[in-house]
């Protein structure tokens, strides 16, 4: 069964203090690994899709990387507005539709 484990569950950073969030996964062949940001009471906001080991994508202060077993979301010099829950999801390879399987997220709080 496809599984996603995110760590830590919660992370508190000072503004400017860089860190990384981890997403470990087991999947029967990976079609894509997705990162989303979710603010309280709102739907997930798409950040990145990664497809193969070694791939990296960047957006502002965020950089996502992928290996065969895990993905990291690196946050460089975070600002208070980066505070949110970050969700990781995997989509298995195969014919036809494959659902997203999500982790429980990492709640990030950035203090000024």
Partner 1 sequence: DTGVSQNPRHKITKRGQNVTFRCDPISEHNRLYWYRQTLGQGPEFLTYFQNEAQLEKSRLLSDRFSAERPKGSFSTLEIQRTEQGDSAMYLCASSPTSVWSSGNTIYFGEGSWLTVV
Nearer to partner 1, 7 or 76 (CB): 7
Stretch that binds partner 1, among 12-20, 42-50, 61-69, 70-78 (CB under 8 A): 42-50
How far CA 74 is from CA of 2, 29, 44, 66, 105, in Å, comes to: 24, 24, 18, 11, 15
- What 3-state class would DSSP assign to 97? coil
Q: Is 100 in the site for partner 1 (CB under 8 A)?
A: yes
Residues that bind partner 1 (CB under 8 A): 4, 31-32, 34, 36, 41-46, 49, 51, 87, 89, 91, 96-97, 99-105
């Amino acid at each position: 069964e496809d599984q996603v484990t995110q760590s830590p569950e919660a992370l508190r950073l000072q503004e400017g203090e860089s860190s990384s969030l981890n997403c470990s996964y087991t999947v029967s062949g990976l079609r894509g690994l997705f990162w989303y940001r979710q603010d309280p009471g709102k739907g997930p906001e798409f950040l990145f899709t990664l497809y193969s080991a070694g791939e990296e994508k960047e957006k502002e202060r965020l950089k996502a990387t992928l290996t065969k077993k895990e993905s990291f979301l690196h946050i460089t010099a975070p600002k208070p507005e980066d505070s949110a829950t970050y969700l990781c999801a995997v989509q298995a390879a195969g014919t036809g539709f494959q659902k997203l399987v999500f982790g429980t997220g990492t709640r990030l709080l950035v203090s000024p």
